[in-house]
Structure 1
Amino acid sequence: MENVVKLKERKTARELLKGVKVVDADTHITEWPDLWTSRAPAAFKDRMPQRKVVDGVMRWMMGDYELAKNYGYSSIMKDGSKLPGLEFFDHPLEDVTPGAYDVHERVAYLDREGIAAQVAYTNLLGFGGGKALQVDEVLREMSIQIQNDAMAEMQAISKNRVYPMAMLPWWDVKKAVAEAVRASDMGLRGINIHANPQHHGLPDLATDYWAPLWELCEDRGLPVNFHVGFSQGADGWEVSDVWPSHTGYEKYAVSGAMLFAPNMITMLNLLVSDIFKRHPGLKFTSVESGLGWVPYMLENLQFHWDENMGGREASIFDTFRKHFYVCYWAEREGTLDAVRRVGAENVLFMTDWPHPTCLYPDPIGYHQTTLEQLDPQSAAKIFGQNAEKLYRMDLSQAPAAS
């Protein structure tokens, strides 16, 4: 009888977050077929990203470059079912949930799940715009501008429930600044850039070359987002060193588990640079990279810093807490200790909806045991307040969890 009473008294995950405006800090927008062609000048329509039949197969093309096969970037189907693993590559946009691309359906999904807002990333051009390098500069810049126009329109139609991040022409810092200004003026609240411009003949992100962009981000309060995978310039999700003897599903599992590694390297480089002395207001977000590895990385970096710098004072943890945020979703075991060591103010809840590893169909309920152990203040920060503050969200029209 005692166990029955305790079970009845147990609060649900939503009840534990009652009154909190939950923010999902990493979701994805499936590009719809006429996103670019409906907005492009007539002379550029045929070269803009669009679906075309090539060699008898429907593909996403940008000029003569194949961006992707014809799939809907969603593991959630129209009937609400969720596909396992790699099967989402076999389904075009017509098969997937309309919420992946239709803003009204997306907001309806948020209402059903008790989520106040989403931060969102597109897919086709790469999360940092790296895939756009495969075409000429005029085409890639126009494509990015049109995409940002469409994303700002989506945010407005959603009444600030969906916050897409702006993509920049990072291969030219002056153009990147100009587009960041334009995107910010349209209401977009953060930027995506390539994490490794030095791989393309440009200075790395810690150099003064990037000062105009960092100054703008400080002035406008724009977080700089590095999404695992394409923001590092990769051509796909598969990690290069995954063993060729593995099956597709095995490769997917290994690659998915290791996608955080390039973000870790980017973070390590930034933490030991002097970028934050020159730009004390700069904020970076490591998106879809998880949480558990961060405390170890920080402690390990601190050890090597102290050993190699001969006692030179520098607190890696303090620098991290002032300038970095990490998005997590799949972890439950060990989360409390990681939050304690990293700081509840630096952790963002995410679901990766509607990608294959997303928390679906019960994104908040997935973290029932975590929420039962987190103190209410930390839970409110991680599941909403941190992202709301970081991205300067207007959640006045968004409901709280209930």
Structure 2
Amino acid sequence: MATASLDRPGAKTGYKVIDADTHLTEPHDMWTSRAPASIRDRVPQVKMLDGQRCWVIDGDKSIGTGAHPNSAILKDGGKVRVLDDFLKLQFEDVHTGSSSLKERLQVMDETGIYAQIVYPNILGFGGQAAAKVDADLRLACVKIYNDAVAEMQADSNGRFFPMALLPWWDVDLAIKETERCAAMGLRGININSDPHLVDLGGERLPDLAHEHWYPLWEVCEDMGMPVNFHIGASETSIDWMGQQGWPSLTRDLRSGISGAMLFFNNGKVVANLIYSGLLDRFRNLKFVSVESGIGWVPFMMEALDYQLVEIAEGKGFEKKPSEYFKSNFYACFWFEQGQPAADMMRKVGIDNVLFETDFPHPTGLYPIENLDSRYGDLTHEEKTKVLGGNAAKLYRIDI
């Protein structure tokens, strides 16, 4: 079942809205059109595998069974809200704004969005799918993606801002790619949230609090490149339909529970970063919890403050754990609305909240209706910050 068109009168707003989490449906030729001939048959591409259309890497490894476009928005602007119908969609069925910059900008104009922050699909929200192949091919795939989205950003006239994928399996390469992407104009990095849980041919990396990563954090801090953790940014954290819902529930209900529980997985990442003491060394490093909602943040911060005193007496940092969220973290909201949302934003911190839609994913906030009146008694100044001002400052976007 689909909704009506995205072009609705209630979508318009007087605010410069920056959508802090959207996704690109990667065109089928994104990698093959840019790869050198020596690896063109190995980079991600869509072809038949075992009788089924798939995204394939290295010739025979599926990284997207069914070659699903990861978009729930149809060509006419309608939205699919039934899981089984969504899973049947193909690239040809969905809105061209999912994959094409020109049509994406048209959708943004129709729905009152000034600029978008953009994340990938095919290589994983944190680039984790690249671990399926050898290091040289991994690096080539990441760099081709970054080159492609940098071109789109340059062509967008300051409205389309993809976050850079990193070769996270090699910190020296990650630093070089961060610097290269910054030179191309990209405004932040997107990284695997659990590299220490990935088996790279019998070797494992340390977790993100280890000094192994200090040189990367130093570069990100110095260059003003926010570190973005999208939900499901590792093979261990992503679980669309598997372990969270009880077996007696239908698949769509299990998927709903799993999707909601992914939000809390980002709380784990935030908590570990705070308790690591990392932010006493990198005081100006900024982290973003993407597509996680905001309701869990006050509870988590209160719990971290309490637990540190009651269970880890003698351990301490320059600030209370909850104070690090105020100085170093952002979280994204979209489905929360009304006076409860306004109250929650103030508890989280008005300066720490970003607005998102997750376009064109199925739980995304499309169509957008009555954006000006969704958020209770937020003042004009508060709305200006959460709907765009905070993101503009963080990602250096001219509004």
Instruction: Tell me the TM-score normalised to structure 1 length.
Output: 0.91
1:140 partnered with 2:154:
no
Per the alignment, do residues 99 and 107 of structure 1 end up closer, same or farther by CA in structure 2, a change over 3 Å counting? same
Offset at residue 273 of structure 1 (A) = 1.5
For the residues of structure 2 that align with 1:367 and 1:251, how far apart are their CA atoms? 33
Q: Which residue of 2 aligns with 1:318?
A: 323
Report deviation, 1:14.
6.7
Matched residue count:
380
Q: Which residue of 1 is the match for residue 277 of structure 2?
A: 274
In structure 2, relative to structure 1, the CA distance for the partners of 1:263 and 1:388 (3 Å cut) is: same
Aligned equivalent of 2:391, options 370, 383, 387: 387
Please give the alpha-carbon distance, in whole angstroms, between the structure 2 residues aligned to 1:85 and 1:343.
35
CA distance in 1, matches of 2:80, 2:239: 20
Q: Give the counterpart letter for 2:351 in structure 1.
A: E
The answer for the alignment partner of 2:48 in structure 1 is: 53
Q: After TM superposition, give the deviation of residue 236 of structure 1 in Å.
A: 4.9
Deviations 1:236-291 (A, max 9, x none): 53353332332111111111111112111111111111101111111000000001
Structure 1 residues 263-342: aligned runs within 5 Å: 263-310=266-313, 312=316, 314-332=319-337, 334-342=340-348
Matched, 1:66 2:70: no
Q: What residue is the counterpart of 1:99 in the other structure? A: 97
- Cα distance in 1 for residues equivalent to 2:86 and 2:157: 30
- Over 3 Å counting, the alpha-carbon distance change for 1:90 and 1:14 in structure 2 is closer
Distance 1:41 1:245 in 2: 49
* TM-score, normalised relative to structure 2: 0.91
- Give the Å deviation of 1:369: 3.4
Runs ≥4 residues deviating over 6 A: 12-15
For 1:330 and 1:14, the matched residues in 2 are separated by: 15
Amino acid at match of 1:306: V
The aligned counterpart of 1:82 is 79
Whether the 8 Å contact between 1:31 and 1:122 is mirrored in structure 2 is yes
More RCO (CA 8 Å, sep 6+): 1
Match of 1:163 in 2: 161
SS of equivalent to 1:282: coil
CA 1:49–1:98: 2 relative to 1, 3 Å: same
How big is the shift at 1:85? 3.9
Rounded Cα–Cα distance in structure 2 between residues aligned with 1:166 and 1:248: 33
- Offset of residue 368 of structure 1: 2.3
**Structure 2: tracts of 5 or more residues without a match:** 1-8, 199-203
* Maintained 8 Å contact 2:239/2:262: no
Measure how far apart 1:13 and its partner are.
7.1
Shift of 1:89: 1.8
SS in 1 for 2:374: helix
Q: Which amino acid aligns with 1:310?
A: E
| Higher helix proportion (structure 1 or 2) | 1
Determine the C-alpha separation between the residues in 1 that align with 2:160 and 2:86.
23
Which amino acid in structure 1 is aligned with residue 322 of structure 2? F
Deviation track 1:318-369 (CA, whole Å, cap 9, x = no partner) reads: 1111000000101125212211211100000000111001111125x25623
- Kindly report which structure 2 residues correspond to 1:187-336, keeping only aligned pairs within 5 A, or say none: 187-200=185-198, 201-231=204-234, 233-234=236-237, 236-310=239-313, 312=316, 314-332=319-337, 334-336=340-342
Partner of 1:3: none
| TM superposition shift of 1:232 | 5.8
Q: Which amino acid aligns with 1:373?
A: D
Answer with 332-341 or 342-351: which moved more.
332-341
Q: Secondary structure at the match of 1:237?
A: coil
**Paired position in structure 2 for 1:358:** 364
